[in-house]
Copies of this chain bind each other. A is one copy, B any other.
Amino acid sequence: MDETLRLSLQTCFALYGASRAVTSAYRPLLDPLGLTYPQYLVLLVLWERDGRAVKEIGAELRLDSGTLSPLLKRLEAAGFVERRRETADERVVTVHLTGSGRALRESVACVPGQVAAKAGLDREELIALRDVLTRLTRTIEGKTP
């Protein structure tokens, strides 16, 4: 097989493996708090700005309602968020942190540092990796809308 094709395959597989490895690096840290990695991402979005619509959260994380609806239901069942149907536009549901949802922020403050330590990349590499992955994602999404 062509060298370039092989390289493409290897890179895609490396991406697939690395993503699972990072998620599994988060797992032992989040599990004691009763969170999964995607749930943690939703909370990050809400900690930055509370009371967002499901739609906005989805735009931020690139997740549709098919993924978010049940996930938010679980976060609500766990007591970390509340969902409110807006009166101004009753199609919209906004998601609000509860007290324990806000409190969780302190509990996970050390998580990113611990994951960074497990990853073992230095600052330069993290920046380069973040930037090339962001560009890759944007390029693909531009071509598969």
A residues within 8 Å of B by Cβ? 2, 4-26, 28, 37, 41, 44, 62, 112-113, 115-116, 118-121, 123, 125-130, 132-134, 136-137, 139-141, 143-144
Tell me whether B133 and A15 are in contact (CB under 8 A). Answer: yes
Tell me whether B129 and A8 are in contact (CB under 8 A). Answer: no
Tell me whether A118 and B140 are in contact (CB under 8 A). Answer: yes
| 6 A-B pairs with least C-beta separation | A19-B19, A14-B133, A8-B116, A18-B133, A5-B112, A120-B139
Tell me whether B129 and A14 are in contact (CB under 8 A). Answer: yes
User: What CA separation (Å) do A140 and B127 show in the bound complex?
Assistant: 18
Tell me whether A11 and B126 are in contact (CB under 8 A). Answer: yes
